[in-house]
Amino acid sequence: MAPIKTKSAPHGERRAAQRETPGGDEKWRTALTCIEPNKILVRGYPLDEMMGRLTFGESIYLLLMGEVPSPAIGSLMEAVLVSFIDHGATPPSTLAARNTATTGAALRACVASGILGFGRYHGGDIESCMHFLDSGLEQVRNGSSYRDAAAAIVEKCLANDEAIPGFGHRFHTRDPRAARLFQMALELEAEGEHVQMIRAVEMVMSDRAKDGPPMPVNIDGAIAAVCGDIGIPPAVANALFVISRVPGIAAHAREEIERHKPMRQIDPKDHVYDGPYQRRLPERRK
């Protein structure tokens, strides 16, 4: 008779039996950062040498992927992180953070509250879109054309009454962030099969949407495709999303604390932007 595998003990005790490594007293391992007296090595690089030589974006890549990115991948990494940094006052994650801020909570509590609002319907599209594109690419590897593969995976989603991950937007009929990211990938010669796949899906969607609202690739889709092409796995792309929006959430929490009265009732539909209107970046930045 087969041995029984039980999902055994509840509440923290369960599966503890699994944790013992052979030998019992072996140490557990981590490959991220080595701490010694007067020395901090991140993935092997002295942290003080990284300061001034690697940007924060490149260091994030190093920490998550294990190596310093090439200049092209480093540029795309920065662009991906910048593209997500904020989307105004209406995302529910931002509103959760503002509602926490209005109670007088510490900034870290507001940020934690905001992060927890990255749920299934909010930010989850990058990972799903990567799996979606991969399912198309598998068909291509089996001999299908990109166009046929795209049509097949779109059909499958629609047949299951699912939305197409990475497509469509409430505010934007053309997502300016997606367009810019594809342009950068092209210029940096980092385009690959994932971008080709999403372009094929875009054409299928465009044909189908002739009589309806436009269904543009959104920034989730663009990031999914570009991350796929530069070798970032879905779980790391998901981590990038969480990391990239933290500054936006922190900025909203701080603005809530500084500009508004405590314990106010926050109606997301009732606000107005009063910052500087469209301006040009300083010349040296172009």
Q: Which of residues 25-64 bind a second copy (CB under 8 A)?
A: 27-57, 59-60, 63-64
Nearer to a second copy, 99 or 194 (CB): 99
Report the residue from 165, 191, 197, 200 that binds a second copy according to the rule CB under 8 A: 165
Span 82-141, contacts to a second copy by CB under 8 A: 82-97, 99-100, 102-113, 115-126, 128
DSSP string, 141-185: HTT--HHHHHHHHHHHHHHTT---TTB--SS-SS-HHHHHHHHHH
Q: Which of 133-141, 143-151, 189-197, 253-261 is the region at the interface with a second copy (rule: CB under 8 A)?
A: 253-261
Max Cα separation, the chain?
A: 75
- How many residues contact a second copy, by CB under 8 A? 177
Minimum distance from CB of 234 to a second copy (Å)? 11
Contact 196, 238 (CB under 8 A): no
189 binds a second copy (CB under 8 A): no
156 binds a second copy (CB under 8 A): no
242 binds a second copy (CB under 8 A): yes
Alpha-carbon distance 66 to 74, whole Å? 13
Alpha-carbon distance 207 to 50, whole Å? 49
State whether residue 40 is helix, strand or coil.
Answer: strand
Report the residue from 23, 24, 189, 281 that binds a second copy according to the rule CB under 8 A: 281
Report the residue from 22, 143, 189, 263 that binds a second copy according to the rule CB under 8 A: 263
Report the residue from 72, 152, 179, 203 that binds a second copy according to the rule CB under 8 A: 179
Check residue 245 and give left, alpha or beta (phi > 0: left; psi -120 to 50: alpha).
Answer: alpha
12 binds a second copy (CB under 8 A): yes
DSSP conformational letter for 275: S
Report the residue from 72, 139, 180, 234 that binds a second copy according to the rule CB under 8 A: 180
Going residue by residue from 191 to 230, which x/- string records binding to a second copy, judged by CB under 8 A? Answer: --------------x--xx-xx--x--xxx----------
For residue 142, CA distances in Å to 138, 151, 247, 268, 272 come to 6, 15, 43, 48, 52
User: Burial of 210 by CB count in 10 Å (0-12 exposed, 13-18 middle, 19+ buried)?
Assistant: exposed
